[in-house]
Amino acid sequence: MTSPAIERLVGHLGKLPGLGPRSARRAALHLLERRESHLEPLLVALRTAAESVRACSVCGNLDAQDPCAICADPERDRAAICVVEQVADLWALERTLMFRGRYHVLGGLLSALDGIGPEDLAIAALVARAGAPEVSEIILATSATVDGQTTAHYVADRLAESDVAISRLAHGLPVGGELDYLDDGTLGTALKARQRLL
Protein backbone atom coordinates (compact mmCIF):
# COMPACT_ATOMS: atom_id res chain seq x y z
CA MET A 1 0.00 0.00 0.00
CA THR A 2 3.00 2.32 0.17
CA SER A 3 3.69 4.51 -2.85
CA PRO A 4 6.19 3.38 -5.52
CA ALA A 5 8.37 6.43 -4.79
CA ILE A 6 8.76 5.29 -1.18
CA GLU A 7 9.33 1.66 -2.18
CA ARG A 8 12.08 2.69 -4.59
CA LEU A 9 13.76 4.78 -1.89
CA VAL A 10 13.55 1.86 0.55
CA GLY A 11 15.03 -0.42 -2.11
CA HIS A 12 18.02 1.80 -2.76
CA LEU A 13 18.65 2.47 0.93
CA GLY A 14 18.49 -1.29 1.53
CA LYS A 15 21.51 -1.77 -0.75
CA LEU A 16 23.72 0.14 1.70
CA PRO A 17 25.91 -2.16 3.77
CA GLY A 18 24.55 -2.43 7.29
CA LEU A 19 20.94 -1.64 6.37
CA GLY A 20 18.60 -4.61 6.00
CA PRO A 21 15.12 -4.32 4.48
CA ARG A 22 13.60 -3.39 7.83
CA SER A 23 16.09 -0.69 8.75
CA ALA A 24 15.96 0.65 5.18
CA ARG A 25 12.23 1.19 5.73
CA ARG A 26 12.90 2.94 9.01
CA ALA A 27 15.60 5.07 7.40
CA ALA A 28 13.30 6.07 4.50
CA LEU A 29 10.57 7.11 6.95
CA HIS A 30 13.09 8.93 9.08
CA LEU A 31 14.15 10.96 6.02
CA LEU A 32 10.62 11.60 4.73
CA GLU A 33 9.46 12.77 8.15
CA ARG A 34 12.44 15.15 8.45
CA ARG A 35 12.56 16.60 4.98
CA GLU A 36 14.20 19.94 5.77
CA SER A 37 16.58 18.80 8.46
CA HIS A 38 17.72 15.42 7.11
CA LEU A 39 16.53 14.56 3.59
CA GLU A 40 17.59 17.79 1.84
CA PRO A 41 21.05 17.94 3.49
CA LEU A 42 21.65 14.28 2.58
CA LEU A 43 20.65 15.02 -1.01
CA VAL A 44 23.09 17.93 -1.20
CA ALA A 45 25.88 15.90 0.44
CA LEU A 46 25.34 13.03 -2.01
CA ARG A 47 25.31 15.33 -5.02
CA THR A 48 28.44 17.21 -3.88
CA ALA A 49 30.30 13.97 -3.19
CA ALA A 50 29.21 12.49 -6.53
CA GLU A 51 30.47 15.57 -8.35
CA SER A 52 33.73 16.17 -6.51
CA VAL A 53 35.11 12.86 -5.24
CA ARG A 54 37.31 10.85 -7.60
CA ALA A 55 39.74 7.93 -7.27
CA CYS A 56 43.37 9.06 -6.90
CA SER A 57 45.28 8.22 -10.09
CA VAL A 58 48.33 7.25 -8.04
CA CYS A 59 47.03 5.12 -5.17
CA GLY A 60 43.30 4.63 -5.75
CA ASN A 61 42.19 6.48 -2.58
CA LEU A 62 38.96 8.50 -2.88
CA ASP A 63 39.37 12.24 -2.52
CA ALA A 64 38.21 15.57 -3.94
CA GLN A 65 41.72 16.16 -5.29
CA ASP A 66 43.92 14.07 -7.62
CA PRO A 67 46.55 13.03 -6.55
CA CYS A 68 44.82 12.56 -3.20
CA ALA A 69 45.80 14.50 -0.07
CA ILE A 70 47.98 11.60 1.13
CA CYS A 71 49.89 11.19 -2.15
CA ALA A 72 50.28 14.98 -2.47
CA ASP A 73 51.49 15.46 1.13
CA PRO A 74 55.24 16.24 1.07
CA GLU A 75 55.47 15.23 4.75
CA ARG A 76 54.57 11.60 4.02
CA ASP A 77 57.36 9.07 3.80
CA ARG A 78 57.84 8.13 0.14
CA ALA A 79 59.88 5.03 1.00
CA ALA A 80 56.99 2.85 2.19
CA ILE A 81 53.83 1.82 0.33
CA CYS A 82 51.08 0.02 2.21
CA VAL A 83 48.98 -2.23 -0.05
CA VAL A 84 45.31 -2.57 0.88
CA GLU A 85 42.30 -4.28 -0.62
CA GLN A 86 39.94 -1.32 -0.54
CA VAL A 87 39.64 2.34 0.40
CA ALA A 88 37.91 1.43 3.68
CA ASP A 89 41.06 -0.40 4.78
CA LEU A 90 43.18 2.65 3.91
CA TRP A 91 40.95 4.81 6.10
CA ALA A 92 41.10 2.28 8.92
CA LEU A 93 44.91 2.34 8.83
CA GLU A 94 44.91 6.15 8.70
CA ARG A 95 42.82 6.25 11.87
CA THR A 96 45.60 4.42 13.74
CA LEU A 97 47.96 7.37 13.01
CA MET A 98 50.73 4.77 12.99
CA PHE A 99 51.69 4.79 9.31
CA ARG A 100 53.26 7.81 7.65
CA GLY A 101 53.97 6.32 4.23
CA ARG A 102 51.69 6.12 1.24
CA TYR A 103 49.13 3.56 0.09
CA HIS A 104 48.11 1.45 -2.86
CA VAL A 105 44.51 0.30 -3.21
CA LEU A 106 44.20 -2.99 -5.11
CA GLY A 107 40.46 -2.57 -5.62
CA GLY A 108 39.62 -6.11 -4.50
CA LEU A 109 41.16 -9.51 -3.83
CA LEU A 110 41.99 -12.39 -6.16
CA SER A 111 39.10 -14.82 -6.09
CA ALA A 112 38.66 -17.83 -8.34
CA LEU A 113 35.05 -18.13 -7.14
CA ASP A 114 34.12 -14.57 -8.09
CA GLY A 115 36.27 -14.72 -11.24
CA ILE A 116 38.57 -11.92 -10.10
CA GLY A 117 42.03 -12.31 -11.63
CA PRO A 118 45.24 -10.23 -11.39
CA GLU A 119 44.22 -8.07 -14.36
CA ASP A 120 41.12 -6.92 -12.44
CA LEU A 121 43.27 -5.49 -9.63
CA ALA A 122 45.72 -2.59 -9.62
CA ILE A 123 48.72 -4.94 -9.42
CA ALA A 124 50.59 -3.80 -12.54
CA ALA A 125 50.41 -0.22 -11.26
CA LEU A 126 51.82 -1.36 -7.92
CA VAL A 127 54.75 -3.13 -9.61
CA ALA A 128 55.44 0.07 -11.54
CA ARG A 129 55.35 2.16 -8.33
CA ALA A 130 57.60 -0.34 -6.53
CA GLY A 131 60.21 0.24 -9.26
CA ALA A 132 60.65 3.90 -8.32
CA PRO A 133 64.07 4.52 -6.70
CA GLU A 134 62.67 6.16 -3.52
CA VAL A 135 60.51 3.11 -2.60
CA SER A 136 62.23 0.68 -0.24
CA GLU A 137 59.38 -1.23 1.46
CA ILE A 138 56.01 -2.63 0.42
CA ILE A 139 53.70 -3.59 3.31
CA LEU A 140 51.02 -6.09 2.31
CA ALA A 141 48.04 -5.19 4.49
CA THR A 142 45.37 -7.48 3.05
CA SER A 143 42.91 -9.26 5.36
CA ALA A 144 43.86 -12.47 7.18
CA THR A 145 41.32 -14.37 5.06
CA VAL A 146 42.04 -17.03 2.43
CA ASP A 147 41.53 -14.58 -0.44
CA GLY A 148 43.49 -11.90 1.40
CA GLN A 149 46.47 -14.16 1.97
CA THR A 150 46.32 -15.62 -1.56
CA THR A 151 46.39 -12.10 -2.95
CA ALA A 152 49.28 -11.11 -0.66
CA HIS A 153 51.31 -14.12 -1.84
CA TYR A 154 50.57 -13.37 -5.47
CA VAL A 155 51.52 -9.70 -5.08
CA ALA A 156 54.72 -10.68 -3.24
CA ASP A 157 55.63 -12.98 -6.15
CA ARG A 158 55.04 -10.22 -8.67
CA LEU A 159 57.24 -7.89 -6.61
CA ALA A 160 60.05 -10.43 -6.25
CA GLU A 161 61.99 -8.79 -9.09
CA SER A 162 61.78 -5.35 -7.49
CA ASP A 163 64.52 -4.24 -5.16
CA VAL A 164 62.21 -3.63 -2.18
CA ALA A 165 61.60 -5.22 1.22
CA ILE A 166 58.18 -6.88 1.42
CA SER A 167 56.38 -7.29 4.75
CA ARG A 168 52.92 -8.19 5.99
CA LEU A 169 50.90 -7.19 9.05
CA ALA A 170 51.48 -9.21 12.23
CA HIS A 171 48.86 -11.80 13.16
CA GLY A 172 47.95 -12.44 16.78
CA LEU A 173 45.63 -11.49 19.60
CA PRO A 174 43.49 -8.44 18.91
CA VAL A 175 44.19 -5.77 21.54
CA GLY A 176 41.65 -6.21 24.32
CA GLY A 177 40.69 -9.66 23.01
CA GLU A 178 39.98 -12.34 25.60
CA LEU A 179 41.70 -15.66 25.00
CA ASP A 180 38.56 -17.50 25.86
CA TYR A 181 36.58 -15.97 22.99
CA LEU A 182 39.30 -16.22 20.39
CA ASP A 183 39.13 -18.65 17.47
CA ASP A 184 41.67 -21.47 17.36
CA GLY A 185 43.37 -20.14 14.23
CA THR A 186 44.21 -16.79 15.78
CA LEU A 187 45.26 -18.39 19.04
CA GLY A 188 47.53 -20.87 17.26
CA THR A 189 49.09 -18.09 15.17
CA ALA A 190 49.61 -15.94 18.25
CA LEU A 191 51.30 -18.84 20.02
CA LYS A 192 53.60 -19.62 17.08
CA ALA A 193 54.51 -15.94 16.71
CA ARG A 194 55.10 -15.46 20.46
CA GLN A 195 57.59 -12.77 21.38
CA ARG A 196 60.26 -13.10 24.02
CA LEU A 197 60.00 -10.62 26.87
CA LEU A 198 63.12 -11.31 28.93
Q: By CB under 8 A, name the binding residues for its own copies.
A: 1-6, 8-9, 11-13, 15-19, 23, 25-33, 35, 38-43, 45-50, 52-53, 62-65, 69-70, 86-88, 91, 94
What is the SS3 assignment for 147? helix
Closest CB to its own copies among residues 16, 193? 16
Distant-in-sequence, close-in-space partners of 116: CB < 8 Å, separation ≥ 6: 108, 109, 110
The CA-atom distances, in angstroms, between 49 and each of 32, 62, 95, 191 are 21, 10, 21, 45
Which residue, 31 or 79, is less far from its own copies as judged by CB? 31
* All residues at 6 or more sequence positions from 80 whose CB lies less than 8 Å from its CB, including other chains: 99, 100, 101, 102, 135, 136, 137, 138, 139
Shortest spacing between CB 196 and its own copies, in angstroms: 36
Quote the least distance from Cβ 121 to its own copies, whole Å: 14
CB atoms within 10 A of CB 142: 23
CB 82 within 8 A of CB 101: yes
Residue 35 or 128: which CB sits closer to its own copies? 35
Q: Would you say 5 or 193 has its CB closer to its own copies?
A: 5
CB of 135 to its own copies, least distance (A): 20
Q: Please, what is the minimum distance in Å from the beta carbon of residue 42 to its own copies?
A: 4
